[in-house]
Amino acid sequence: MVNEAVYRELIKKYRGHFGRDPEVVAYAPGRIEVLGNHTDYNEGYVFSAAINFGTFFAAAKAVTGGCRLVAGDLMKEVAFDVANIEASAADTWQNYVKGTLAGLTEIKAPSCGFDGMFLGNIPLGSGLSSSAALEMCSGLALGKLFDIRVDAVTLAKIGQKAEHVYAGCKCGLLDQISSLAGQAGKLVKTDFRSVAFETVDLGEDACFLMCNTHAKHALVDGAYNRLREACEQAAAHFSQVLRHPARTLRDVSMAEWAIYKRGLPEGVANRAAHPIGENERVLKGAELLARGDLAGFGALMFDSHESSRYLFENSCEELDAVVDAAKKIPGVLGARLSGGGFGGSVVVLVHPRDAETASAALASAYAATFGKPCDVSVITPADGARLIR
């Protein structure tokens, strides 16, 4: 079992806290975003992967309508009623579970509450979507516990709504879909207009490094939402000036952006250029992977980060330093920020034979600039969310 030590610790803590075994346990991985940044809510394309770090959620039915939820790392409990689920300003980690449960109860009302606990090993604030992993594992576990049956896309949308309504972050579906659809050794290519996804072989001659800078990664402070608003403003502009239907930035090419951006504020125009370019990079990347051209694919990752840095402005000094260092290290094929931005992690594409030396070089280069090394881990594309018991 993946992350078996975490699973055993969760079961031990659950028994100690609730005095019984859980009835259901589910697991959901975090994700890396490999190519296609901020394209999901623009109905575009993304390459992502579920990873070998994740979160477990254990639950059993309660005898009343009361819900007891415990964060296993903190061993802190919160309580609420299954018939009255409201967002909380304190212990905000509970909102991801609350929002997911609220979405499930819209389909079928549970007859009782639950005793639940979650525990995982995804570094918080790393840009690897610990929040979506929590939503998906709690959704699978509570859906099974209360016999509320939903397909993968519906569950992903429930998690997305939990982010919007309960956590205050207007994210797309990337994180939830990636956590659900992952397969070992493969990337997930998703079309977020149709929400259709497929897995694509990465090949045995490639792996990823996760470089966690520990820089601030808080997307609910409004920065993420402001970027989304800029994209929506630009899409409304292009829908008026283009001679074909343009519902979102997915419908705009870079050539059209260059010709028809006049009338947009410069900052909004630059924000729009990022997802437009990312969509084209994902489609090009698919062609390169089909030919086994990892070097070409890695070059697109570098291009993606430069677009984040200068056009979308969702990078930061720490992320830029890692990418700049990666460009100089033998064996590194590509690097870019992963996730919403403003901190968190850089994902680096390397040959497996070079992973150890590249990891040491990246940590050393980061320490030379910031006085302490970043955390570097080998990331393996892994299987997606599932019920464990």
The residues that are catalytic are 175
Q: Which of 380, 369, 303, 294 is nearest to 336 (CA)?
A: 303
Residue with tokens 């870079």: 254
Look up residue 367 and give its two tokens.
């320490």
Residues facing residue 208 across a β-bridge: 349, 379
Cα separation, 152 vs 50, in Å, equals 15
Residues 88, 40: contact at Cβ < 8 Å? no
- In terms of DSSP bridges, do strands 24-35 and 66-71 run parallel, antiparallel, or are they unpaired? unpaired
Residues 6+ apart with CB under 8 A from 17: 70, 75, 77, 117
Q: Residue 217 carries which DSSP code?
A: -
In angstroms, how far is the first alpha carbon of the chain from the final one? 12
Cα pseudo-dihedral 318, 320, 324, 327, rounded to 10: 110
Look up residue 116 and give its two tokens.
């639940």
Residues 17, 118: contact at Cβ < 8 Å? no
Helix crossing, 152-161 with 130-145: angle to 10°?
Answer: 120
Cα separation, 46 vs 341, in Å, equals 15
